[in-house]
Structure 1
Amino acid sequence: MSLALSLILALLLDYLLAEPKRFHPLVGFGNLANRLERQFNRGAEQRRGGVLAWCLAVLPLTLLAGLLSCWLSDTPVLQAVIGGVVLYLAIGWQSLLSHALAIAEPLQQGDLKAARAAVGMIVSRDTSALDEEAVASAATESVLENGADAIFAAIFWFCLLGIPGVVLYRLSNTLDAMWGYKNERFLRFGWCAARLDDLLNYLPARLTALSYALMGQTRIALSSWRQQAADWKSPNAGPVMAAGAGAVNVSLGGAAVYHGELQQRPPLGPESGERPSALSIRNACGLVNRVLIFWCVTLYLVLALNAALNGAPL
């Protein structure tokens, strides 16, 4: 049951400590990624440079994580503890909720300026001219999408491949966030990071979407997923955000300004759903929490059943 112990420890650390304010390993990894990008994102071979940079950034650390996991295999308690610490560093549960509530609270109090500033910290769209509904929509979308990226995908890969799995996923996802832009600088260089992140998120995104549906308004969520996911710009964000919007019965999507360019985005959720508000942000947070409990209970039951079938103690 070391897997379950690692997950409980990771969530407990995240709940008590939230995201480390200083000396987070991903900050150092980001600095490394910036140096690699400056070195390899040049000339005519940008795509090849992006592949090489991704390999140099991700593969050595994943290999070290695999060697660490093998070294710990004979000491399950220590493996559970170190695995829990690594998973804690890879998830962003409380960070996501705190950012969301930092938007919902001023929005509820009528402080639009503070809400705009807070939502600008977690989304890439231009927030300077957003009205209250647009701020709430951006925040709700971010909670639903990042619930998959920052929490559930990391847990999925940890459960599947242990420490090297979650290291591979988190580093790859971080590079996609840094290099995955479709602009002149990163369109070719970031191709590898973006495609591999899509691949690693394919199954976790759909499990998250299904979990959102089961833990929310199931019929509406499944209908939104079926009708809207394929129209969304991201193959993985589409199912997650459509199912999530349906699960909390809110209408999202629509026009938004990114880097000075107006983009008309497809609708998410039921057309007759509630309008985005501080309540929809809180409802999205509640949905993420319910799904997290659902995953923990499901994992425990699967492990308990496996132990019973094999005659092993829990």
Structure 2
Amino acid sequence: MLAAVLIDAWLGEARRFHPLVGFGQVASFVERRMNPLTSFLRTQEPRAGRVEPARRPEASLWAPAYAGATAWGVMVLVPCGIMVALRHALPLAWAWGLDVATLYFALGRRSLADHATPIAHALEANDLPTARAAVSRMVSRDTGALDAAQVAGAATESVLENGHDAVFGALFWFALLGAPGALLFRLANTLDAMWGYRTPRYLRFGWAAARADDVLGCVSARLTALTYAAVGRFDTAMRCWRVQAPTWKSPNAGPVMAAGAGALGVALGGPAPYHGRWEDRPPLGEGDRPGAASIRGALRLVDRGVVLWLALALAAGAAAHA
């Protein structure tokens, strides 16, 4: 774990030939081929100035759900099975190297800083257009109409949530199952980010990916929330977690972001624009309005949490070998 974290801090995200980028491309290909609604929705688009009559998909409404579950199994369980077999076949030193490489590619702590720090820089320079453009690469909401505080809030929320998805979740499953565990979590989390939308195309096809990510992240998300509380404002974080997390739709993002906002002493959440309209969202945390300082504070929160986890892991390893 220490070796992978240090390599991530040194090299950051691979710029070329990143395995997760290739995985995402394969996942897009698989979805286009296996989702029955993809071709159906394509036939409803206007062509050559005319609209073709609507046709129902031949398969039942639940066919996309079965196809999505099958696709998830192929994309996640098969690579994990190959990883298990490979680790057992390799000599110990090579297996150790495979573990380090797998966890390194699963981690994104340095990538979080690389994406979030330019937003803080732009806000500190009062360059709102640049800040909006930078935050659009981190969040799915519309950023063109956001003011400075809303840009900072979006970036802070993204750092807190991705602290779990790209850092602590991978570390937890690595500690539990080694490289196959880290691979399982990261691939499942990637498919949720690609297929887990509540749109006509993905509502049923992505159901299995969304539920699998919820299950795999259940324990690690709450450990992440506890970590944020432990390295930040503990009482405020625990109170926000208890009161605000149940109001969020996501069972894992709610505890992580509520505890993180409370640990920072910043007020997040609230209305945000998605797909051309503003959506009301419950509040997160309490205290100051978000700004460049809250973005940097969220990054420090993640870093302190990583140090805490590594210290506990090293202590456990030393105790096991004593």
Fold shared, TM-score > 0.5 on shorter chain: yes
Equivalents in 2 of 1:112, 1:105: separation in Å? Answer: 10
The yes-or-no answer on 1:71 pairing with 2:85 is: no
Q: Which amino acid aligns with 1:136?
A: A
Structure 1 CA distance, aligned partners of 2:206 and 2:187? Answer: 14
In the other structure, the counterpart of 1:4 is none
Partner SS, residue 281 of structure 2: strand
Structure 2 CA distance for aligned equivalents of residues 27 and 216 of structure 1:
34
Alignment-derived partner of residue 305 in structure 1: 319
In 2, the alpha carbon distance for the partners of 1:232 and 1:59 equals 30
**Equivalence for 2:19:** 25
- Alpha-carbon shift at residue 117 of structure 1 (Å): 0.2
Q: Secondary structure at the match of 2:273?
A: strand
Offset of residue 85 of structure 1: 0.8
Indicate conservation of the 8 Å contact 1:228/1:268, yes or no. Answer: yes
Question: Where does the alignment leave 5 or more consecutive residues of structure 2 unmatched?
Answer: 37-56
Aligned-pair CA distance for 1:184:
0.8
Task: Look up the match of 1:101.
Answer: 117
Q: Does 1:145 align with 2:145?
A: no
Root-mean-square deviation (Å): 0.9
Alignment-mate amino acid for residue 83 of structure 2? A
| Structure 1 position 34, deviation (Å) | 0.9
SS of the residue corresponding to residue 265 of structure 1 reads: coil
Following the alignment from structure 2 to structure 1, what is the Cα–Cα distance between the partners of residues 86 and 183?
Answer: 12
Give the one of 216, 223, 236 matched to 1:220: 236
User: What residue is the counterpart of 1:34 in the other structure?
Assistant: 28
Matches within 5 A, 1:1-314: 7-42=1-36, 43=57, 44=60, 45-72=63-90, 75=92, 77-270=93-286, 273-308=287-322
Aligned-residue offset at 1:306: 2.1
TM-score, structure 1 normalization: 0.93
**TM-score scaled by length of structure 2:** 0.91
Q: What do residues 91-137 of structure 1 show as CA deviations (whole Å, max 9, x unaligned)?
A: 10100011110100001110000000000000000000000000000
> How much has 1:38 moved relative to structure 2?
0.8
Task: Kindly indicate whether the alpha-carbon contact (under 8 Å) linking 1:9 and 1:85 is maintained by their aligned counterparts in 2.
Answer: no
Equivalent AA in structure 2 for residue 284 of structure 1: A
Structure 1: runs of 5+ lacking an equivalent: 1-6, 309-314
What SS does the corresponding residue of 2:249 show, helix, strand or coil?
A: coil
Amino acid of the residue matched to residue 76 of structure 2?
V
Q: Read off the aligned partner of 1:30 and give its amino acid letter.
A: G
1:167-204 Cα offsets, whole Å, 9 max, x none, are 11111111000000111110000000000000000000
1 CA distance for matches of 2:262 and 2:232? 8
Q: Which amino acid aligns with 1:49?
A: A
Find the residue that maps to 1:262 and give its secondary structure. Answer: strand
What residue in structure 2 maps to residue 3 of structure 1?
A: none
CA distance in 2, matches of 1:149, 1:106: 25
Structure 2 residue matching 1:234: 3-state secondary structure: coil
Q: Distance in 1 between matches of 2:86 and 2:98?
A: 10
Aligned residues: 298
Bigger Cα displacement from structure 2, 296-305 vs 116-125: 296-305
CA distance in 2, matches of 1:103, 1:277: 10
Paired AA for residue 287 in structure 1: L
Q: CA deviation at 1:78?
A: 2.8
Q: Deviations over 1:16-66 (max 9, x none)?
A: 111011101111111111111011111431111101111111111110011
Instruction: Tell me how far 1:261 sits from its aligned partner.
Output: 2.8
Give the fraction of aligned pairs with identical amino acids, expressed as a percent. Answer: 52
The answer as to whether partners of 1:254 and 1:264 remain within 8 angstroms in 2 is yes
SS of equivalent residue, structure 1 residue 19: coil
